[in-house]
């Protein structure tokens, strides 16, 4: 299988949206709040620089995407990013998610700007939790599980809050973190 990882382009938005929308259907206990496809263009264009969005192509077809989004819109927290990863069901379980997520973390570490990447994963989403933990994410000691973080069909959804510190090279004086006009995370349900 020939897997190529590259930065996302604006015209990838429909595939990225389709993978997201099928992906969240696979997550147990996640509210199916999806974005209109047009909004995925905003999502793609709001990434770049220190908050990259990558796609994995298998034989030229987009099979997965992963990104780091700003964790908070407050300028003081720009050094913390939030990771997301989604693999099309047709390509799940083939190592693509891990390869892509590893690339995401490795590149963030190499850039040396962000100090931490967090992930908020539904407590019932075992594949994603295992993936995160295999990459060095650990339960956040300050609040491992956000109880009753959301609702699905009248049932509370707990969300595990994980943290992955990045390399010690992160430069405190670096102020070059790309500002984003709009938080893409408002498109997300988990
Ligand atoms: C979670 C997801 C990204 C994993 O991607 P993938 O390409 O299928 O996973 P990989 O084949 O690369 O496996 C990576 C790791 O995930 C875990 N994993 C994958 N599928 C799993 C399953 N069905 N059950 C338990 N763990 C699983 C394993 O720990 C695996 O590592 P290992 O094989 O070394 O043990 C993918 O299942 C997905 O897109 N799910 C729906 C969307 C989603 O949940 N996104 C995350 C939102 S927080």
Alpha helices by DSSP H, listed for the chain, are 13-26, 37-45, 96-111, 126-134
Angle between helix 96-111 and 126-134 (nearest 10):
40
113 C-beta closer than 6 A to ligand 1: no
Residue 12 in domain:
yes
Q: Kindly report the number of other CB atoms within 10 A of residue 174's CB atom.
A: 15
Average pLDDT over the chain reads: 84
Residue 188 in domain:
no
Q: State which of 98, 145, 150, 157 you would mutate to test the pocket of ligand 1, scoring each by most atoms of that ligand within 8 A of its C-beta.
A: 98
Find the farthest-apart pair of alpha carbons in the chain and give their distance in angstroms, rounded: 46
Residue 177 in domain:
no
- Which token pair is 3? 């897997």
Smallest CA separation from ligand 1 atom 13, residue:
95
Contacts of 90 (CB under 8 A, 6+ apart): 63
Q: State which of 127, 133, 187 you would mutate to test the pocket of ligand 1, scoring each by most atoms of that ligand within 8 A of its C-beta.
A: 127
pTM for this predicted structure: 0.86
pLDDT-derived band at 189 (thresholds 50, 70, 90) equals very low
| Residues present in the chain in total | 190
Question: CATH number, domain at 133?
Answer: 3.40.630.30
Residue 178 in domain:
no
Share of the chain above pLDDT 70, in %: 79
Q: Average pLDDT of 13-42?
A: 77
Domain span at 21:
3-170
Residue 185 in domain:
no
pLDDT tens-digit readout, 126-137? 999 999 999 999
Smallest CA separation from ligand 1 atom 10, residue:
95
Ligand 1 centroid to residue 26 C-alpha, Å: 11
- Counted domains in the chain: 1
Residue 186 in domain:
no
126 C-beta closer than 6 A to ligand 1: yes
pLDDT tens-digit readout, 95-113? 999 999 999 999 999 999 9
Q: Give per-residue burial for 79-90: e unless 16+ CB within 10 Å, then b.
A: bbbbbbbbbbee
CA 11 to chain centre: 19
Q: Which of 94, 156, 98 is nearest to 128 (CA)?
A: 98
Q: Average pLDDT of 89-99?
A: 96
Residue 190 in domain:
no
Contact 51, 70 (CB under 8 A): yes
Residue 152 in domain:
yes
Which atom, in ligand 1's list, is nearest to the CA of 19?
39
pLDDT-derived band at 182 (thresholds 50, 70, 90) equals very low
């Amino acid at each position: 299988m020939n897997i190529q990882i590259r930065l996302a382009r604006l015209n990838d938005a429909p595939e990225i949206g389709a993978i997201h929308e099928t992906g969240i259907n696979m997550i147990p206990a996640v509210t199916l709040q999806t974005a209109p496809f047009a909004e995925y263009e905003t999502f793609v264009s709001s990434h770049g620089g220190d908050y990259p969005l990558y796609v994995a192509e298998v034989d030229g077809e987009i099979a997965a995407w992963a990104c780091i989004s700003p964790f908070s819109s407050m300028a003081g927290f720009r050094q913390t990013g939030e990771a997301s990863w989604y693999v099309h069901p047709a390509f799940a379980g083939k190592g693509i998610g891990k390869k892509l997520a590893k690339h995401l973390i490795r590149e963030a570490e190499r850039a040396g700007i962000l100090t931490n990447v967090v992930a908020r994963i539904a407590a019932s989403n075992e594949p994603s939790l295992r993936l995160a933990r295999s990459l060095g994410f650990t339960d956040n000691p300050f609040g491992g599980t956000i109880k009753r973080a959301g609702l699905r069909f009248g049932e509370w959804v707990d969300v595990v809050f994980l943290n992955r510190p990045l390399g010690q090279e992160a430069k405190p004086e670096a102020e070059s973190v790309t500002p984003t006009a709009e938080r893409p995370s408002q498109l997300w349900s988990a």
